A and B are shown apart, each in its own frame.
Chain A
Amino acid sequence: MNHTRSGLGFQGRLMCLVVALMVALGTLGILVPTSAQALTVNKATASPNEDGGSGVIGGIDTRLTWEATVDEGETISGVTLKLPQDGSFDGSSTRVTVLDGLKRKPVDAQVAVQGTALQVALSEDAVGGDLLRIEVTNMKFPPEGGDVQVTGTATVNGQEEDLTPSPAIAIIANTPLQAAVMWLDEQPWVAAWNSNQFLGMFFKPQLLLTSFASLFPGWLVCLAIVVIAYPFAILLGLVFAFMKMAKHRGVRAIAVTYINILRGTPLFLQIYIMFFGLPMLGINIDNNVLGVIVMAVNSSAYLAEIFRAGIESIPRGQYEAAESLGMNYMQTMTCVILPQTVRRVLPTVTSDFITGYKDTSLLSSVGVMELMMFSKNLTTVTGNITPYIAAAIYYLIVTLPLIRIVSKVEARLARSESGGGPRPKAGAPKATGVEDRDAEVVPGTAQCAATPQDKALVLAGMPMVEDACQVAVAAPAAEEIPAWRLLASSVFGTVPFGAASSKGESHEV
């Protein structure tokens, strides 16, 4: 703008330049004197105060070590350190050391503390080349954490000058969880508890608490994988169940092959093949998505067998009754057979869901960040088994209620199908109290009471299921199976030696 004004003479231009220069100098003048080149801040560190870790947590006592070197030709008579808001020097004790090379100078320091400020006055000036070290114990960083820099001022040659901010110290936020851990740390009973080798190694309260917090995302991943996978597994399972019952031999063969291969190989192996095989083919799918796919495909084979056995366990008479009413195949299936199948297979399907949920743990072997992975990492860091226990609790939170539901539903099913079903709701007329030609309800007359063959079929549907609760699914048949066989099946995972276990299986191929 100045240069465009043609009316302005040389004088005027000079004036402008001078003004500009003065403004620039003035700005510098503010900066230069306060930037303490007289003192080079070397380091600022804090000692770890995290239980079992190497982190520094805000809001909890720690020790700050701050070091600076006095530049040549300068004298320092005092230093004031400042913390960000919410930090505190209150209640701290300070040790000040002045070193000339390796020699310690006999310097006394007067320390005044006020909130976020710590004022150190030296009895004798520190001169060029001296190392000034200030150690503050029992000080606190801000609880909200973050990268914290220690700032402050120094008295250089009698003048107050700002210090260059120290290197940042990473501070962990002090959450309520941390506070709880700290509180536990202070409890004598916790100390006593942990002094027992077993309790301290498996059930350390503090670590249990932190484990719950850090395993939570893994738990969500587990749940998400199995919850997303399951609807697909059910659909696929139904498709293959009907394929296995199809009239066409080729269709049956496809279903049988699919089901037998998936049930006949370990899930672990299937995971490896999919996770390492697909990338080899140049197919790269997100780990979590691939996890869902593997779980869905694996479960579908088991579900197909469960559905097939369920459908085949519906007595012939149900088909005949539906047909005699004039229903076609679709109507018979959707209105009569499948609704009953759902009731019958619900416990088994739930058990399979439980198995699937637990089996997501195998995905940790290929790097899916699920519960097992998180707990393994935490155990590696802490050298303590407690994170595994926390993981176990996370698994049980889901499985225990489901197991309970399964046994409840089973009991109800067994009761209603044996004909002695639940009595009508209150208010409904009592069966025996009403004038009726055959008033007495006779138990055991319901037509749907499963025949031994049906039970064998139901049982045959799940010979390869892996845990005890799944075997228990055949509960309506339980009274007909010798106890030793049930026991053996819960140990070996199959119904051993049983005709039942192989009957429904292989005759098709």
Chain B
Amino acid sequence: MKSKKTAVPEVAPALDGDMAAKLAYEHDKNLTTHHFVEGEHPMVRIEHLNKAFDDNVVLRDVNLNVWPGEVVVVLGPSGSGKSTMLRCINRLETPTAGHILFKDQAITAAHKKDLCDLRKHLGMVFQNFNLFPHLSAKENVMIGQTKVLGRTKEEAEKEALAQLDAVGLADRADYMPAQLSGGQQQRVAIARAVAMHPEVLLFDEPTSALDPELVRGVLDVMRDLAENSGMTMIVVTHEMGFARDVADRVVFMEDGVVVEEGLPNEVFDHPKNERTAAFLGNITEI
């Protein structure tokens, strides 16, 4: 409240749903491998998103649409605003200006109560897993179901065991997080998010905190989710291989701006923007 803020950018009001869908389709039709359906609306719409922390402007006029079942991988150097954008989508950060709409419903305008309802549909996987250390793996997966979705303990337990099985941790259900490796913890965190049956899963650098040998297990789980569950996913990552193989669309961000977006092969093999090229060049050189 007391902090000095830079002037809030003037932003046009959010577009009407049908209108926006049409424009978004025109914009995205050649940029993604997503199979469009007639009359489809984007699952998540980001319009003119601006975010600043005090004087530090992190996002400048970001526009992005994510279609149902689409896997969007966001790439970019550290500090480019990828994570902040992701955190704005479920309002862990409050945007300075702009609109984020989930199924044409404005997240940015939501009140606190509605926010809890909205977040049920927006699962999130964190860089640092953020498992609840006082609960076992199974209880971690159950707690959201029982407290937020109001499922019975039995239902929640059944779902939890099924999801833990899906991430290959059925035999770790009663382990405490501290007894699990980082990779195992992250897979429990994915199970926790998926057990809520969200419509969108947000991945915030899910493998960055892991030792290299533990990364594959987590990526395999994510790959499985993307290919077999038809889940809408927005993934912020540095895993180029994953992006190339799994993504329907790759978005490259730098300095709080979407610099380039397109089909994975296009972006990786023929980057149009020199900054993208430089970043990918750097990465592959290493």
Contacts and interface: CB of A to CB of B under 8 A. Distances in A.
B26 interface: no
B143 interface: yes
B84 interface: no
A436 B168 contact: yes
Interface stretch (B95-103, B214-222, B243-251, B267-275): B214-222
Interface in B54-69: none
A438 interface: yes
A447 B179 contact: no
A320 B202 CA distance: 13
Contacts of A328: 112-113, 116
A424 interface: yes
Given A318-B130, A325-B196, A419-B178, A331 B168 contact: no
Given A343-B134, A445-B181, A445-B185, A326 B126 contact: no
A331 B179 contact: no
Interface in B136-183: 143-144, 147-148, 168, 171, 174-183
Given A317-B126, A325-B144, A437-B183, A416 B176 contact: yes
Contacts of B196: 325-326
Nearest to A436: B168
A281 interface: no
Contacts of A192: none
A280 interface: no
A323 B131 CA distance: 13
A326 B193 CA distance: 11
B120 A421 contact: no
Contact of B119 (A326, A335, A448): A326
A465 B185 CA distance: 37
| Chain A interface, >50% SS class | loop
Q: How large is the interface on B (under 10, 10 to 19, 20 to 34, 35 or more residues)?
A: 35 or more
A327 B147 contact: yes
B132 A326 contact: no
Nearest to A334: B147
B122 interface: yes
A339 B134 CA distance: 7
B219 to A, nearest CB: 10
A508 B246 CA distance: 50
A90 to B, nearest CB: 73
A335 B143 contact: yes
Interface string A318-342: 1011111111100100011001100
B285 to A, nearest CB: 28
Given A327-B116, A328-B116, A441-B181, A321 B132 contact: yes
A445 B182 contact: yes
Given A422-B179, A437-B168, A438-B213, A417 B133 contact: yes
10 contacts: A339-B134, A340-B132, A343-B134, A423-B179, A437-B220, A438-B181, A438-B213, A440-B213, A446-B177, A447-B130
Rank and list the top 4 A-B pairs by shortest CB-CB distance, nearest first: A421-B178, A437-B217, A325-B144, A321-B130
